[in-house]
Structure 1
Amino acid sequence: MKLNALLDIIKLDDKNVGNIKGADGVEIIGITANSREVKSGFVFAALKGVAVDGAKYIPSAVKAGASFILTHKGADVSALTIPYIALDDPREALALICAKYYGAQPETMIAVTGTAGKTSIAAFVRQIWATCGKPSASIGTTGVVSPTRNDYGSLTTPDPVSLHKLLKELHDEGVTHGAMEASSHGLDQHRLDGVKLAAGGFINLGRDHMDYHSTVEHYFNSKMRLFNELLPKGAPAVICADDEWSDKCIAVAKEAGLEVLTTGHKGAFLSLKRLEHERFKQIAEIQHKNVTYRIEFPLAGDFQMSNALVACGLAIATGADAGQAIKALEKLKGAPGRLELVGYSKDQGPCYVDYAHKPEALEHVLQSLRPFTSGKVYCVFGCGGDRDAGKREIMGEIATRLGDVVIVTDDNPRTENAEEIRRQVMVGAVGAIEIGDREDAIFHCVNELQKGDCLVVAGKGHEPGQIVGDKVLPFSDHEVIRRALSENGGSSYGEGIA
């Protein structure tokens, strides 16, 4: 693609700095924000990060053959002899350039935002669409899932280059429907700009990423970019009506001219009229347009039903038959590491893994397990290093208030002192037991489980490693639980206990 065709989306005026002389004849063969990936004919986006300013790598990118530089105002561009533009916010321009360069996307794209539940909702929407005969994919924290791939990922919302390249690949594979997570970081950094969204969803808002956002209001406003900037007027906004931030989200969506569709106990589009717990499933009555559907929902946790209703609403809002979509909830499988049943102890105590690493998520998980537990709820959890330290005491209080036996352990201490992190958690976790080694903590609980008890190991979910210092050491909560169950005389899920 010719450079001048890409630059059509950028207005070069007195507010921007640049030199695009000679752009007409320049052929672009790639885009990157990583100077080590630059080749002849590439666009290099020199972005300012939290720790490093990409502008320092402009000389090496030029030396490697970059044909165009996109950067921020304040970057040293005095020596540049190739076309360049310096903008107040080059991230938005990068996303739009990527969208134009890669072009094709699945024809129906939706995005969901919120603090906890995005991964499950994206996975549920994909499954509902698939049941309705739509070739579909989901993109998020656990990676990319489509009819032809199941690739692990680590970022909730990929960078614009990776995202738009992926969307083209999915389109070329025949995927027509795509569901993706919209994180606050991704929205604030314009990673989703250029994605042609048909609908958006909101599940909840709680404390998270306070190491990035200055206030909860800034966090909320970043989430709201999905509704007041990215969705086209008239598009459906599917909003869980049961969260304390729901009314504010509804107001934002209405102000943006969106079609507001609410779900949940207070929902009007999909109204949850009744929910009963039965062993490890739930019986629900859901009303849509004066028709009430009774379903057997196969997943534990009230929060999973909330997630499923938003997912169902998004599927219906994008063309799925309502009856078929609601019935599809009976076949849903949980996303990896989201209140995922791993196995049973010798006394049939269920053992779960969950990604809950923030206060509201941990609270939801522990509250959701109580109706299914006649004995004690065991909880193993920790807090990550180099992240919001303010949530540690809060999570300790939540764990000991809602759990019966709580083990505080390590969870990705990174460059912080693991013992100090645990100490901060223990301030709020009155009566908890401290076992620093995560494997020892899990084995301890599995061996303690009695009939009627359950265990949830929270914080890591699907993650395959423990981050200590700057190294990722192999570690899987799933694998450790399975080994503990094997030694305990229990069984892994699917080995005969229904």
Structure 2
Amino acid sequence: MTEATKTLGDLGLTARSMREATITGLAVDSRAVKRGYLFAALPGTQVHGAEFIGTALDMGAVAILTDAEGARIAQAEIGRADPAVVVAADPRQALAYTAALWSGMQPEVMIAVTGTNGKTSVATFVRRIWQELALRAVNVGTTGVEGDFETPLRHTTPEPITLHRVLAEAAEAGVTHAAMEASSHGLAQRRLDGVTLRAAGFTNFTQDHLDYHASFDEYFDAKAGLFARVLPEDGVAVINIDDPRGVDMAAIAQARGQGLITVGEAEGADLCMMAQRFDATGQEIRLRWMGRVVQMRLNLIGGFQGENVCLAAGLVIACGGDPDHVFAVLPRLETVRGRMQLAAKRDNGAAVFVDYAHTPDAVETAIRALRPHVMGRLVAIVGAGGDRDRGKRPLMGAAAAECADMVIVTDDNPRTEDPVSIRAEVLRGAPGATEVADRAEAILRGVDALGPGDALLICGKGHETGQIVGITVYPFDDAEQASVAVAALDGRLA
């Protein structure tokens, strides 16, 4: 997969004074440096990585990749150890290309999808469609690497060294197709810049991550980088044209000469969702592609899941998939873990669903999308994460209060913030909601409130299996807790 050593020249890097060095590995964490490594000292939001150059050199680093500010910060340490120093205007982008050259392999066909909501579902659906077409495939993102090669990940879009190592390992294992989630953080930090994409997708754009991005415009620009910078000019952009910012994304793609497939309910969409009909266990959708109309059943809850399937189908077609074969396998798609997942069902017929909705738009969309599948009342449990965008908290509460018949506000990864204060901010948008601090108790009370035909939607954690309090992660799984609550209340526990 990777050679034992590479020179700076092999990695596309030029050091000061044309110094050369033989590199045995790459690291962005000084604690991971070994003898012969190149250490990437990157600018951070709180501290510059150059502060750790001394440690990296003590650990055996022979080359440093940084920017002019980093070289200035570590001038004394660099003078003492005399490593090869590569100064780049954009060291994050330089690291991305370096990591790609170091690992040397990736699956032959790759796509990436960005947007505030729906990335995991779309990437997973793309992978599953490819697998149904007898192709070896993976999806890479929030749920780790899944499919014909599997490994956990710490971030939706990993830093470049990890990303390219994983892609190379997948390719070595025989994976030919990969679908990636492209987070705004990952795009802003150039983590995907060394990945060669065949196509890229855009789902939607709503408020999130304003704790990281200085403004809504900066957040959009980060997302737009997928089309403005990462997707090559001969790639294909697949855009949800129903989203208000879809037109802007399409314009960016067209300005670069990329191919364009538009998806949505709009009459002029290339892949048009003409109609949807819902029932208790799924939906039927009617699509039009190149003048041909097809209709199929999806065993998926929520109208937005139909939209996600369409975007996924568009991405597979953009990569050369035969449309007839793609449409034929769509009915076999199953719910993505933690995305409108049916977690449990009460003896009276009431259903409990778990969803990753953790933004105002996602909460509103999820509840409204569930409504056509429910004959009775709809109960929603919401919370907001600590150390994250505070501005969205009352908006999440308001979205739940407006769309659900009953709302319970509880904790959701409070991290280092006071959970009482977080709940109070959510409750500002939902003044009539019930406050239950303990998440397990909130789920139990929500399940207990369900009558025949009712449904409970537990928003926020989705696939996650831990609750972060302070800096400790305690085991917690919404779907598992829902099953326990139903079993306890319906007398199924032995």
TM-score (norm 2): 0.95
Secondary structure of the residue that 1:395 maps to in structure 2? helix
Secondary structure of the residue that 1:6 maps to in structure 2? coil
Q: Determine if the alignment matches structure 1 residue 55 to structure 2 residue 43.
A: no
Corresponding residue of 2:312: 311
CA deviations over 1:283-323 (Å, ceiling 9, x no partner): 11111111111100110111111111110000011111101
Q: Determine if the alignment matches structure 1 residue 45 to structure 2 residue 40.
A: yes
Query: Which of 67, 75, 83 in structure 2 is aligned with 1:77?
Result: 75
For the residues of structure 1 that align with 2:119 and 2:473, how far apart are their CA atoms? Answer: 25
For the residues of structure 2 that align with 1:305 and 1:135, how far apart are their CA atoms? Answer: 24
Q: Determine if the alignment matches structure 1 residue 229 to structure 2 residue 229.
A: yes
Corresponding residue of 2:7: 3
Secondary structure of the residue that 1:57 maps to in structure 2? helix
CA deviations over 1:60-113 (Å, ceiling 9, x no partner): 111111111111222223442010123332100101000011111101010000
Question: What is the Cα deviation at residue 39 of structure 1?
Answer: 0.5
For the residues of structure 1 that align with 2:203 and 2:8, how far apart are their CA atoms? Answer: 41
For the residues of structure 1 that align with 2:118 and 2:350, how far apart are their CA atoms? Answer: 25
- Taking only aligned residues, the RMSD between alpha carbons, in angstroms, comes to 1.5
For the residues of structure 1 that align with 2:56 and 2:261, how far apart are their CA atoms? Answer: 47
How many corresponding residue pairs?
482
CA contact (8 A) 1:344 1:490 kept: no
For the residues of structure 2 that align with 1:383 and 1:6, how far apart are their CA atoms? Answer: 46
Corresponding residue of 1:258: 258
The gaps in structure 2 that reach 5 residues or longer are: none
Question: What is the Cα deviation at residue 341 of structure 1?
Answer: 0.7
Alignment map for 1:296-445 (pairs within 5 Å): 296-445=297-446
For the residues of structure 2 that align with 1:490 and 1:121, how far apart are their CA atoms? Answer: 38
Corresponding residue of 1:496: none
Question: What is the Cα deviation at residue 27 of structure 1?
Answer: 2.4
Question: What is the Cα deviation at residue 11 of structure 1?
Answer: 6.0
Amino acid at match of 1:462: H
CA deviations over 1:453-490 (Å, ceiling 9, x no partner): 00011111111111111111111111211110111228
Amino acid at match of 1:52: V
Alignment map for 1:119-158 (pairs within 5 Å): 119-149=120-150, 151-158=151-158
Change (3 A) 1:419 1:79: closer
Amino acid at match of 1:171: A
Q: Determine if the alignment matches structure 1 residue 207 to structure 2 residue 177.
A: no
CA deviations over 1:14-36 (Å, ceiling 9, x no partner): xxxx3542x1xx32221110111
CA contact (8 A) 2:376 2:455 kept: yes
Corresponding residue of 1:249: 249
Corresponding residue of 1:15: none
CA deviations over 1:34-56 (Å, ceiling 9, x no partner): 11111111111111222332211
For the residues of structure 2 that align with 1:68 and 1:178, how far apart are their CA atoms? Answer: 32
Change (3 A) 1:486 1:19: farther
For the residues of structure 2 that align with 1:154 and 1:330, how far apart are their CA atoms? Answer: 32
Secondary structure of the residue that 2:414 maps to in structure 1? coil
Q: Determine if the alignment matches structure 1 residue 474 to structure 2 residue 481.
A: no
CA deviations over 1:154-203 (Å, ceiling 9, x no partner): 31111100000011001101111000001111001000011010000001
For the residues of structure 1 that align with 2:138 and 2:77, how far apart are their CA atoms? Answer: 45
The gaps in structure 1 that reach 5 residues or longer are: 13-17, 493-498
For the residues of structure 1 that align with 2:92 and 2:253, how far apart are their CA atoms? Answer: 24
Secondary structure of the residue that 1:238 maps to in structure 2? strand
CA deviations over 1:426-474 (Å, ceiling 9, x no partner): 1110211001111110000111110110001111111111111111111
Alignment map for 1:90-129 (pairs within 5 Å): 90-129=91-130
CA contact (8 A) 2:233 2:257 kept: yes
CA contact (8 A) 1:393 1:428 kept: yes
TM-score (norm 1): 0.94
For the residues of structure 2 that align with 1:77 and 1:168, how far apart are their CA atoms? Answer: 35
CA contact (8 A) 2:8 2:14 kept: no
Corresponding residue of 2:485: 484
Query: Which of 1, 19, 32 in structure 1 is aligned with 2:27?
Result: 32
CA contact (8 A) 1:343 1:491 kept: no
CA contact (8 A) 2:343 2:480 kept: no
Secondary structure of the residue that 2:45 maps to in structure 1? coil
For the residues of structure 1 that align with 2:260 and 2:14, how far apart are their CA atoms? Answer: 33
CA contact (8 A) 2:394 2:425 kept: yes
Question: What is the Cα deviation at residue 381 of structure 1?
Answer: 1.1
For the residues of structure 2 that align with 1:241 and 1:168, how far apart are their CA atoms? Answer: 34
Q: Identical aligned pairs, as a percentage?
A: 42
Amino acid at match of 1:208: D
Corresponding residue of 1:455: 456
CA contact (8 A) 1:20 1:84 kept: no
Amino acid at match of 1:488: L
Question: What is the Cα deviation at residue 234 of structure 1?
Answer: 2.9
For the residues of structure 1 that align with 2:457 and 2:25, how far apart are their CA atoms? Answer: 45
Amino acid at match of 1:161: I
CA contact (8 A) 2:359 2:392 kept: yes
Corresponding residue of 1:495: none
CA deviations over 1:247-283 (Å, ceiling 9, x no partner): 1111111111111101111153211111101222111
For the residues of structure 2 that align with 1:250 and 1:54, how far apart are their CA atoms? Answer: 36
For the residues of structure 2 that align with 1:136 and 1:77, how far apart are their CA atoms? Answer: 46
